[in-house]
């Protein structure tokens, strides 16, 4: 587990009395947590949910291939959604930093709108309203586009904070070297900004991935939907949903760890850069 | 369908839906704050197993998709002889997921507290719990008003989960799908809910900014 500064300074090395107290409370806590675990397992076994028939099919390759296919569709939707969100967010960020006030205002309104409306509402919009307008989209786009729309505002704000984090001297140096506004942005500001914001872009990918679990609304065959097929095949609701939830948690956990690692690295190299 | 027809036919439903969203948001956020605080104290206490429990709790609930959690609660828990109402399932999801994020914000809020504060408290003979509740938590809370405001808005957006189960009364997202299955509500039915969400988010954001300016500790 990660070490946080506050944890290390909150107390000094305990004396003999405190050590004894800590040992007693630690033992109590262990008993409590073990008791909790025992209660959960007991509930599982009392209701027969530990029976082999609910779990044995996880030993079959077909089960995992099927779940893997669903996962692949989930990843496909999430990555596509994230890419669209990045493109749209980039445009919105450019608009937000535009020199003309109406453009700035419009971009800001769009950003606030996408940030203030739940993804599910966008999904229902694409599911119910878009077909009324005579636009036939496939299930893939009905889940991908709303996820992208609801993420693009956050992406725009993240990119903007990255651009603002680039030291002012960079801009001034480039301008005095005769760079135009466009070259300044694409060759000097943006390449530096993107390094700052990669961690928050990864966190946003996690949010998009979570949002794709609503794919069942538009019946797109993602991990969640494939789980439902497994459930009806083996009549095993609890075990399948638990395994699927664990898969989602693990993927998001790893992505978050990656984002944290990259954030630490950027911070370190920035600190070294200042010393040099 | 024109705005006036839509509002005269479904206006009261929209009002009820908005109040439902507000109610769910208020309960969820209050619950998330309380649990988030408890989990945060557990994560910094000297009892190692409890620390791990807190860390694992946070990792589980900040990484689980809301839909997956709600489905587990609604459809899978009855197999363990645990039956909750739809509203209870929604609230459990919309409390526990934000509580993990709340704890993360509080942890980073704690990290802004200078070491001198802790040392001073220790020199004055504060016990661990006294130090946590009189020195650390109040300062941590004051320095993370803005992240917590964002969390409040995120919690409101999470309450749209309720549209995935037949919960009554409907909230702002469920009302849109309800109207569209009975009438051709079109863009307008959707826009009304969207605007109500946005206005609420805007007001909450302003309120959070105002509180932040008043309580933020300038270091």
Does A36 reside within a domain?
no
Nearest chain A residue to B159, by CA: A118
CA distance A173 to chain B (A): 31
C-beta separation of A218 from A127 below 8 A: yes
Q: Note whether A116 contacts B110, CB cutoff 8 Å.
A: no
CA torsion sign for A61, A63, A66, A70 is negative
d(CA A125, CA B190): 7
Q: Note whether A1 contacts B107, CB cutoff 8 Å.
A: no
- What's the complex ipTM? 0.92
B-chain CB neighbours of A23 within 8 Å are none
pLDDT at position A133 over 60 = yes
Tell me the average pLDDT across A228-239. 89
Which tokens belong to A114?
A: 């996408």
Q: Is B76 on the interface with A (CB under 8 A)?
A: yes
Q: Note whether A241 contacts B68, CB cutoff 8 Å.
A: yes
pLDDT at B23: 97
DSSP, residue by residue, A7-70: HHHS-PPP-HHHHHHHHHHHHHHHHHHHHHHHHHHHHHHHTTTTSHHHHGGGGSHHHHHHHHHH
Domain count, chain A: 1
- Report all structural domains of chain B as residue ranges with CATH numbers, in order of start: 3-215 (1.10.3720.10)
Does A115 reside within a domain?
yes
Q: Where are the beta strands (DSSP E) in chain B?
A: none
Please state, rounded to an integer, the average pLDDT across all residues of chain A.
90
* Cross-chain CB nearest to B72 (options A7, A113, A245): A245
Does A179 reside within a domain?
yes
Which positions 7-26 of B are in contact with A (Cβ < 8 Å)? Answer: none
Look up the CATH number of the domain holding residue A70: 1.10.3720.10
* pLDDT band, residue A7 (cuts 50/70/90): low
Place of tokens 């006030």: A101
pLDDT at A266: 85
Does A151 reside within a domain?
yes
Nearest chain A residue to B41, by CA: A7
d(CA A120, CA A88): 19
The model's pLDDT over B117-173, given as tens digits with 9 standing for 90+, comes to: 888 988 898 888 899 999 999 999 999 999 999 999 999 999 999 999 999 899 999
Lowest-pLDDT range, A11-15, A246-250, A262-266, B129-133?
A11-15
Residue with the larger pLDDT of the pair B45 and A119: A119
B114: left (phi over 0), alpha (psi -120 to 50) or beta: beta
pLDDT at A146: 96
A-chain CB neighbours of B55 within 8 Å are 1
* pLDDT band, residue A274 (cuts 50/70/90): low
pLDDT at A267: 82
Q: Note whether A9 contacts B118, CB cutoff 8 Å.
A: yes
Which positions 4-33 of A are in contact with B (Cβ < 8 Å)? Answer: 4-7, 9-12, 14, 22, 25-26, 29-30, 33
d(CA A97, CA A111): 13
Burial of B165 (0-12, 13-18, 19+ CB in 10 A): middle
For a pLDDT cut of 90, what percent of chain A falls above it? 68
The model's pLDDT over A134-189, given as tens digits with 9 standing for 90+, comes to: 888 899 999 999 999 999 999 999 999 999 999 999 999 999 999 998 899 999 99
pLDDT at B62: 95
Helices B3-44 and B186-215 pack at an angle, to 10 degrees, of: 40
Scanning A166-189, the segments in alpha helix (DSSP H) are 168-176, 181-183
Q: Is A173 on the interface with B (CB under 8 A)?
A: no
Residues 6+ apart with CB under 8 A from B45: B51, B128
Does A10 reside within a domain?
no
CA distance B211 to chain A (A): 20
Q: Note whether B186 contacts A132, CB cutoff 8 Å.
A: yes
DSSP, residue by residue, B111-131: TTS-HHHHHHHHHTT--HHHI
Q: Note whether B80 contacts A1, CB cutoff 8 Å.
A: no
Place of tokens 């904070």: A161
A219: left (phi over 0), alpha (psi -120 to 50) or beta: left
Q: Is B46 on the interface with A (CB under 8 A)?
A: yes
Tell me the average pLDDT across A203-219. 93
CA distance B98 to chain A (A): 13
Tell me the average pLDDT across A203-209. 95
B2 by DSSP, 3-state: which? coil
Does A39 reside within a domain?
no
C-beta separation of A127 from A142 below 8 A: yes
For a pLDDT cut of 70, what percent of chain A falls above it? 95
d(CA A222, CA B88): 27
d(CA B149, CA B151): 5
Does A217 reside within a domain?
yes
Residue ranges in chain B modelled with pLDDT below 70: 1
* Structural domain for A86, as ranges: 64-271
Q: Note whether B64 contacts A245, CB cutoff 8 Å.
A: yes
Does A20 reside within a domain?
no
Q: Give the CA dihedral A255, A259, A265, A266, nearest 10 degrees.
A: 150
Q: Is B182 on the interface with A (CB under 8 A)?
A: no
CA distance B131 to chain A (A): 9
Q: Give the CA dihedral A109, A124, B191, A154, nearest 10 degrees.
A: -10
pLDDT at A1: 38
């Amino acid at each position: 587990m990660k070490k946080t500064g506050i944890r290390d300074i909150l107390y000094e090395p305990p004396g003999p009395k405190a050590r004894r107290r800590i040992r007693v409370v630690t033992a109590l806590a262990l008993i409590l947590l073990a008791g909790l675990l025992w209660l959960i397992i007991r509930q599982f076994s009392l209701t027969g949910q530990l029976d082999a028939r609910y779990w044995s099919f996880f030993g079959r390759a077909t089960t995992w291939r099927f779940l893997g296919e669903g996962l692949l569709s989930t990843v496909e939707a999430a990555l596509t959604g994230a890419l669209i969100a990045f493109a749209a967010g980039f445009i919105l960020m450019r608009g937000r930093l535009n020199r003309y006030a109406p453009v700035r205002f419009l971009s800001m309104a769009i950003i606030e709108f996408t940030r203030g409306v739940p993804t599910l509402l966008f999904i229902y919009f694409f599911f119910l309203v878009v077909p009324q307008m005579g636009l036939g989209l496939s299930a893939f786009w009905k889940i991908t586009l709303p996820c992208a729309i609801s993420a693009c505002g956050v992406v725009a704000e993240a990119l903007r904070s990255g651009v603002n984090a680039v030291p002012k001297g960079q801009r001034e140096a480039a301008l005095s070297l005769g760079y135009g506004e466009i070259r300044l942005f694409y060759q000097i500001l943006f390449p530096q900004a993107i390094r700052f914001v990669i961690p928050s872009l990864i966190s946003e990918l996690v949010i998009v991935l979570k949002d794709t679990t609503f794919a069942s609304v538009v019946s797109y065959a993602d991990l969640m939907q494939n789980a439902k097929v497994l459930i009806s095949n083996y009549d095993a609701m609890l075990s399948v949903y638990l395994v699927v939830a664990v898969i989602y948690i693990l993927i998001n956990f790893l992505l978050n760890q990656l984002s944290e690692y990259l954030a630490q690295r950027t911070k370190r190299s920035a600190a070294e850069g200042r010393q040099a | 369908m024109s705005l006036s027809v839509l509002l005269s036919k479904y206006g009261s439903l929209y009002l009820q839906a908005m109040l439902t969203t507000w109610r769910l948001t208020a309960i969820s956020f209050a619950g998330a704050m309380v649990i988030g605080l408890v989990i945060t104290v557990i994560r910094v206490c000297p009892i190692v197993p409890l620390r791990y429990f807190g860390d694992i709790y946070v990792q589980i609930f900040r990484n689980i998709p809301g839909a997956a959690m709600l489905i587990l609660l609604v459809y899978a828990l009855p197999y363990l002889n645990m039956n909750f109402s739809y509203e209870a399932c929604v609230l459990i999801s919309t409390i526990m997921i934000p509580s993990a994020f709340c704890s993360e914000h509080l942890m980073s809020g704690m990290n802004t507290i200078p070491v001198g504060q802790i040392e001073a408290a220790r020199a004055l003979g504060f016990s661990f719990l006294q130090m946590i509740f009189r020195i650390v938590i109040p300062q941590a809370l004051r320095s993370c008003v803005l992240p917590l405001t964002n969390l409040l808005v995120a919690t409101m957006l999470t309450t749209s989960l309720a549209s995935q189960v037949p919960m009554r009364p409907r909230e702002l997202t469920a009302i849109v799908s309800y109207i569209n299955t009975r009438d051709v509500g079109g863009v307008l039915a959707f826009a009304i809910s969207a605007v109500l969400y946005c206005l609420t988010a805007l007001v909450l954001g302003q309120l959070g900014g105002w509180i932040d300016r008043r309580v933020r500790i300038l270091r």
